Amino acid sequence: MPVPASEAIASDVGHGALGARSGLRPFRDLLSETVGQRHLWVELRPKKLLTTWIAEGGGVFRKAVAEVFDGVVLDVVGVQTLTETLVRVESQALLTAGHFYYSGATLYVYLTGGVAPSTTSVVVQLGVHVGSHGVYQPVLGVDRLANGPFEAWTDPGGGIPWTPDGWTVSSSVSAGTIGLDKTTSDPLQGNYAARISFTAATGAIGVRQDFTTLVAGQVYRFSGAYRVTSTAGGLMASVYIDDAGTGFVLPDGRTIGTSTRAWSDVAGAGEWRRFAFDFVCPAWGTLRASLFAETVSGTQSGLVDWDDVRLQPVYRYAYHEPLLSIDSVPILEAARADAFWGEMSSALGSLSLLNGGGRLEPLLAAYDWIGADAICRVGGRFQLGGNEILLDDCPVIASGRLGAPTVTDSGVAFDLEDDRKLGERILPTRTYSDSGTPALVQSDFGRSRALLFGTKRAIKPVQYGTHTTGGGAIPLGSYEVVDCTDWAAGIKEFTSVSWYTDEDAATARAASRRTVGPYGSDFDFFVATGRFDVLLDMHPLVITQENNKLHFDTGGAVLSAEISPQTSHMHKVAYDLYTAMRALDGADVTVGYDVSGQLMHISKTAGTLNLRCATGADAQMGVWALLGFSAAADRTGSLNYAADTTIQMEAYDAVLRIDAIGFKDDASGTYTGTASATIEKAPDIARFILRVLLGVPASAIDLPSFVAARAVADRPCSLYVGNPRTVADIFSELETTGNMDLMLKGGVWYCQARDATTPVGTPELVDTDFLSFESHYDPEDLFKTVSLTYNESPDGSNAYGGGLHRRGPNPSPSPVKMGEVEDETIALRYGRFDQKTFATCLRDAADATTPLAGSRLEEIATQASTKRRRFTFSTKGKALQVPVGGKLLLTRSRGLDATGALSAVLVRVLRKRDDWGRWVSDVVAIEVV
Amino acid sequence: MAGIPRLCVTNRIQSPATVLTVSSSATGSPVSRLKDQLRSKTWRSATGWTIVAGQNDKIDFNRGGVLAATIVSGTYATGALLAAAIVAALEAADAAPVWACTYSGTTFKFTVSSDLAFTLLWSSGANTATACHYELGFAVTDTGSATTHTGATAVYTSRHWIKADLVTAAAVLAGIVINHNAGAGGTFTLQGNATDAWSAPTVNQALSGDAAIRIAFISTQTLRYWRLVVNDCGNALGYGEVGVWFAGPYTQPTVSYAIGFTKQWEELSEVTVAIGGAHFQDEKARRPTWSLAWSEVLEADRAALAAAFALVPAGRCFFFSFDAVTTPTDTEYGFLMEGVSETLTSGLYFDVQVPVFAGALG
């Protein structure tokens, strides 16, 4: 009874058996194959709320968890709380804050700060695995290697080859030259691979990492890719797992021997091949994982490359029940609104499962499925019984959340949404309300708790409370400028506080009607929370020539103290009066404001002091009313005079505007690369939003691409999010600002600078790849007038004054912070008279618009005046892994070109529809110029 | 291919009442998988050696006296761990520290040694029936006297037992195993007994076959307890695996199906054609289908076939042995895609048509 070859995926290494497999063609090759099997593997993660925990000590809590379906105790693949997603570890001994361990019967959690799980809500995510084929696949954990993809390298200087970060290099060379360096020559993934070159050499060189916290008895998978380029049998790629001494894990993955490779391959075809080595971790103090390149015999020349290496725990081999049909595979759609940086939209089809026999109803009823994570991976198998793609090489094509299930007798269908749906989320996420942080001013209720990146002037704070300075009786305001709830490092700086006489003055930023602090100890700033307290009432008193005189005598002639016209707070006014009075007579005269009584006092320690409130010359120009003294009668017969009426301290009605510098990086420099630096570059801001505000896990963000983009998109931004905006809108502005694309590929976010280069590994489509093809020009890609806004005022007005550039006639000043370029030839050539405004959050006019040369405005205007070809086509395989914003090369014997043919035309994807069930992509792309 | 057909439609293993137990299971592949008809939904043993008390935990030996060592029950993922347990067992039964045991990463054989010459009594020992000689790679014969004994064969796992308690005694005439991972040297033995005792079972029948199927037809036995013994200690994968275990009766009409039956391959692969004519294939399995007929059978055969097919409505898998006596491995696991029809042809004769018997994939 033969089993059809195309059906069989062996009970073999990679599917439960320990040991090594090598020489495996990678998934990337399968994409280009015209024949092959297509496999889909889906991990569904329904949730269950857990309560009643038992303290284990040291911040660890435990609970018995054994959820059974189909005779199997479901794996706990994730644990989430209201505030964090815990990371899985392989043993209880490895538990630290923010981690969990599942033994198969008991769940152990260690929440950040040792918080008791009973004080929050804890849900477990259970692993339910389905697929297009019935196969056991490993449940892989977090990669334990540092720099396994070989993307980070350090230049030791002195012309010495670079070394890969995190790896230790060792070599034994008896002849010739063997060198290790990075290479950009067609890496399997990312930008670099590690390259070991042999030049008439004999010997070996390897890179290794040591581990002291792997768990004895736990199965791990050491996997990756290698490429041997040499004469057949000349060079060898090999892997060792040892104890840094004499013990070695043998090729069977569970026996310990001496000086033995886990596996080796001498095939020298110069093509990428993958390996996977599943082994039981021995009870060693140190486990050393090494990648080696060795000469097999004699003197050899050639290359051995390594890339995409990982060391992951295998929590179990889970049977993927074949409940997926081709039609159940979700269709992935994504599109950018225009050819520039228009908002991204996305749609994801549904995921449906076969439900023969009604087996799934109990599973669906037992757990929370709405919003449950679903991770879809795709793999396959090469034709004629070639190798299948092991799970470590199966890319995630969609990582999203399930909608409500629709259950029928024959199937279950879920709506599926992926992380692109994050674009529909609203920022800021919090408002001032009775729940959480209230506003003390009624009009601030419902206002968003603002977010701030970079330098911004004239932010209106929200008063959320009052306090009494030093125990005084009169309360003053507590204000919030930036919501730092999600970010403990807080903001960089409170630069200044302006206290205006009224809202009109604030809107006009009228310098003549405000006081500016900090001035001494008038404010208490809390950068960690984005808040401040007013310690001294500094509301402005406007002193003019009409109210700047104070008449008094000390027993002699009436004197007239006069202060300069100014707008100052009461303490400054009192000080100026005190100075003026002392200059005239009475060294012991004092003028002061009594905070507790809110009264101005004028006093003298001895002798005589009469205040000529009514009878002083020019009494109509007296300062008395401002100070709260009645001008109806002089004040005599005392040495201490209190004002008749209070000068009310502004506990609630202060008109404040703040200049501040927004979120600062943590002490590790997580987002900027520099400890405590201002987070103000577009890629850094985007990553901060994803990670901190939207909760995207670090594993779903490609850090190297964001770091690389930072070097290009390096202009400082000023982004204040004080009103509700969609994430897509904010991202669009950041992309416009940084000339970059934020791309979601396989559930991982990438940031790619937009340029005309052809990235390594860009797929090229040729005649035989196109299932359909058309090309055209779109007038919507051309604009006569391009406007660019930048550094928008937090209240919508102009903070710095705008730049203005016009190539056309009639230049005029602009009331908004905007630059503009007109190109009349666009109208002449294409009949396009249209204008388009590009919103950026650039901080400085110099970067945005002025001077025009080299400005962002000029860059965008150039694109908007360039005729670019668009291509719409369908293709099998090759384009499936290219996200919107990614690039392709098109070669075709016919096409829109002066030659009538297309030859390696570089295009950027604007719109895609990926059908992974049939491996077909429908693409709209635009020429890169 | 035409011979004596047999239909195995009543799998007592998959009966809801049957209670299955097993020597060990890997996490995620319990023995309850054998209740499912999907062939890829397999039971797997734990990787390594599983020692079960009263099954394979004894070592009879003579080192200046006949003694028996008992290995602590449990699963030992590696040979080194089992070797350590063997030393502990020997030293617990005898002197310490005079024993050693190693597992070679080169030959994958166990070596047991002592300071004095000793004999391993695999054949003549008092506990031969429950000894672990297979697990250690020894033949079932006593060794000579020496200070060191090395197993004869490379071993990677232990024997495995899957036991089915049918709750009440029921007839079994056939044992079949498919989607197993045994090599040519691995054996499957069907055992049956009235009680849950296995030292001398009433039925002890080896299944024969190949990498795809192991099968045996036996004379009818009505027993409550049935067991499948997997003896494949030389399986380098390190674990045992079974997709479908059939134990039950069969139906055998008195005549064979008619000659001229058809076998077709249903192509599930899809072909896409590019603009220029190039084509792409999404490769999928080929499903074999058979169209069978029994011509001019008597009422007794018609009734027997009708009764058998009534138990396997469309989609329900069963085994069909095309030639049970001559080539029993010509047995297919499949299901009916369409209903069976019967036609009264003349007098007392009927034609029975099986339009599509489709091979079960996945």
Nearest in space to A779 (alpha carbons), one of A469, A351, A442, A338: A338
- Shared domain check, A500 and A482: yes
Considering the domain boundaries, does residue A305 fall inside one? yes
d(CA A265, CA A235): 8
Please give the C-alpha separations between residue B84 and each of A447, A710, B71, in angstroms, as whole numbers. 70, 56, 10
The CA radius of gyration of chain A, in Å to the nearest whole number, is 35
Evaluate whether residue A361 is within a structural domain. Answer: no
Average pLDDT, integer, range B102-109: 93
pLDDT of A427: 95
Name the band, by pLDDT with cuts 50, 70 and 90, for residue A3. very low
* Residue of chain B minimizing CA distance to A314: B27
Task: Give the gap in angstroms from C-alpha A52 to the nearest C-alpha of chain B.
Answer: 26
Q: How far does the CA of residue A373 sit from the closest CA of chain B (Å)? A: 21
Instruction: Please give the Cα distance from A497 to A537 (Å, whole number).
Output: 12
Contact indicator for A513, A473 with CB cutoff of 8 Å: no
Same domain, A480 and A579: no
* Domain annotation covers residue A160: yes
Q: How far is CA A591 from CA A582, A605, A775, B151, in A?
A: 10, 12, 82, 106
Using an 8 Å Cβ cutoff, are A291 and A309 in contact? yes
Considering only CB atoms, A38 lies closest to which of B80, B282, B329, namely B282
Identify whether residues A575 and A545 lie together within a single domain.
yes
Asked if A920 lies within 8 A of B40 by C-beta distance, the reply is no
Residue in A255, A319, A877 closest to B80 by CB: A255
**Residue A326 confidence (pLDDT):** 64
> Do A590 and A606 fall within a single domain?
yes
Q: In terms of domains, do A488 and A624 share one?
A: no
Count Cβ atoms below 10 Å from residue A701 Cβ, excluding itself. 17
Evaluate if residue A813 carries a pLDDT over 60: no
The two tokens of residue B148 are 């060191």
Say if the Cβ atoms of B33 and A319 lie within 8 Å. Answer: yes
Q: How far is CA A265 from CA A200, A225, A304, A508, B75, in A?
A: 20, 12, 11, 74, 33
Q: Is residue A600 part of a domain?
A: yes
pLDDT above 90: percentage of residues in chain A: 64
Residue A131: inside a domain = no
**Rounded mean pLDDT, B206-219:** 96
Predicted confidence at residue A809, as pLDDT, reads 33
Mean of the pLDDT values across residues B2-13? 91
pLDDT band of A803, cuts 50, 70, 90: very low
The candidate with the shortest Cα–Cα distance to B86, out of B63, B59, B105, is B59
The mean pLDDT value of chain A amounts to 89
- A254 is a domain residue: yes
Residues A772 and A883 in one domain: yes
> Rounded to an integer, what distance in angstroms lies between the CA atom of residue A506 and that of residue A657?
7
- Res A273: pLDDT: 96
Shared-domain flag, residues A520 and A555? no
**A131 to chain B: nearest residue by CA?**
B362
Task: Please indicate whether residue A423 or residue A97 has the higher confidence score (pLDDT).
Answer: A97
> The CATH number of the domain where A890 resides is what?
2.40.30
- Write b or e for each residue in A712-735: b if 16 or more Cβ atoms lie within 10 A of its Cβ, otherwise e: bbebbbbbbbbeebebbbbbbbbb
Contacts of A34 in chain B (CB under 8 A): 278-281
pLDDT computed for residue A794 by the predictor = 85
pLDDT tens readout for residues B231-258: 999 999 999 999 999 999 999 999 999 9
User: Which among B42, B272, B361 has CB closest to A7?
Assistant: B361
B286 interaction partners in chain A (CB closer than 8 Å): 4, 6
**DSSP secondary structure string, A721-784?**
E-S-EEHHHHHHHHHHHHTEEEEEETTEEEEEE--S---TT--EE-GGGEEEEEEEE-GGG--S
pLDDT of residue A83: 84
**Contact state of A37 with B103 under an 8 Å Cβ cutoff:** no
Question: pLDDT band for position A831 (50/70/90)?
Answer: confident
- Does residue A147 have a pLDDT over 90? yes
Token duo for residue A539: 């509301």
The distance of B362 to chain A (nearest Cα, Å) reads 6
Q: Nearest by CB to A72, from B30, B77, B333: name it.
A: B30
Instruction: Classify residue A111: in a domain, yes or no.
Output: no
Size of the A and B interface in Cβ pairs below 8 Å = 153
Give the residue-averaged pLDDT of A276-304: 95
Q: State which of A864, A882, A909 marks the end of a domain.
A: A864
Residue A775 has pLDDT above 80, yes or no: yes
Residue B2: pLDDT over 70: no
Q: What is the pLDDT of residue A804?
A: 33
> Is residue A611 predicted with pLDDT exceeding 50?
yes
Tell me how close the Cα of A389 comes to any Cα of chain B, in angstroms: 14
Supply the pLDDT for residue A236: 94
Cβ atoms < 10 Å from Cβ of A690: 23
Are A11 and B32 inside 8 Å of each other by CB? no
pLDDT tens readout for residues B156-194: 999 999 999 999 999 999 999 999 999 889 999 999 999
Look up the CATH number of the domain holding residue A298: 2.60.120.200
Question: Do A36 and B281 count as a contact with CB atoms less than 8 A apart?
Answer: yes
Nearest-Cα residue of chain A relative to residue B321: A1
CB contact under 8 A, A768 and B276: yes
Q: What is the mean pLDDT of residues A469-479?
A: 77
Say if residue A358's pLDDT is above 60.
yes
A281 and A213 in a common domain: yes
From the list A250, A260, A771, which residue is nearest B272 (CB)? A771
Per DSSP, what are the bridge partners of residue A218?
none
Q: Is the pLDDT of residue A484 over 90?
A: yes
Share of chain B above pLDDT 90, in %: 88
- Res. A5: pLDDT tops 80: no
Structure tokens at B312: 């396997």
Q: What was the pLDDT predicted at A472?
A: 66
Q: Which of A864, A881, A900 is the last residue of a domain?
A: A864
Interchain CB distance below 8 Å, A11 and B80: no
Peptide bond into A851 cis (omega under 30): yes
Report the alpha-carbon distance of residue A670 to residue A687 in Å, rounded: 10
Q: Which helix (H) or strand (E) element contains residue A508?
A: helix A503-508
CB contact under 8 A, B28 and A136: yes
Is A812 in the same domain as A925? no
Residue A212 DSSP label: S
User: Is B103 within 8 Å of A255 when comparing Cβ atoms?
Assistant: yes
Mean pLDDT of A470-492: 88
| Range in A159-168, A192-201, A715-724, A891-900 with the lowest mean pLDDT | A159-168
**Cβ-based neighbours of B272, under 8 Å, separated by 6 or more:** A771, A876, A918, A920, B279, B280, B281, B282
Q: Is the same domain home to A233 and A288?
A: yes
Q: What per-residue confidence (pLDDT) applies to A807?
A: 29
Instruction: Please tell me what DSSP assigns to residue A461.
Output: P
Q: Determine which of B284, B316, B321 to mutate to test the interface with A (most A C-beta atoms within 10 Å).
A: B284
Q: Is A107 within a domain?
A: no
For chain A, how many helices (H) and strands (E)? 11, 61
Domain count along chain A = 5
Residues A812 and A889 in one domain: no
Q: Which residue has the tokens 């090309």?
A: A775
Across B54-63, average pLDDT: 96
Q: How distant is the Cα of B125 from the closest Cα of chain A, in angstroms?
A: 30
Residue B168: both structure tokens together: 């009440």
Could you give the C-alpha distances from A78 to A44, A55, A107, A113, A684, in angstroms and in order? 11, 20, 11, 19, 28
The pLDDT assigned to A800 comes to 37
CB A376 within 8 A of CB A393: no
Closest to B41 (Cβ–Cβ): which among A319, A381, A773?
A319
**pLDDT beyond 60 at A801:** no
Mean pLDDT on A202-206:
93
Range A477-495 average pLDDT: 95
With beta carbons less than 8 A apart as the criterion, state whether A836 and A824 touch: no
User: Which neighbouring-strand residues pair with A910?
Assistant: none
Contacts of B29 in chain A (CB under 8 A): 16, 72, 136, 317, 319
CB contact under 8 A, A136 and B283: no
| Domain final residue, candidates A837, A864, A891 | A864
Work out the pLDDT band at B312, boundaries 50, 70, 90: very high
**Identity of the residue in B30, B181, B333 whose CB atom sits nearest the CB atom of A71:** B30
C-alpha angle A616-A617-A618 in degrees, rounded to nearest 5:
115
Residues A525 and A554 in one domain: no
Q: What is the pLDDT of residues A648-696, one digit of tens each?
A: 877 778 899 999 999 999 999 999 999 999 999 999 999 999 999 998 8
Cα–Cα dist A70/A219, whole Å: 24
Which domain range does residue A436 map to? Answer: 427-539+653-664
Weakest-pLDDT range from A53-67, A394-408, A720-734, A776-790: A394-408
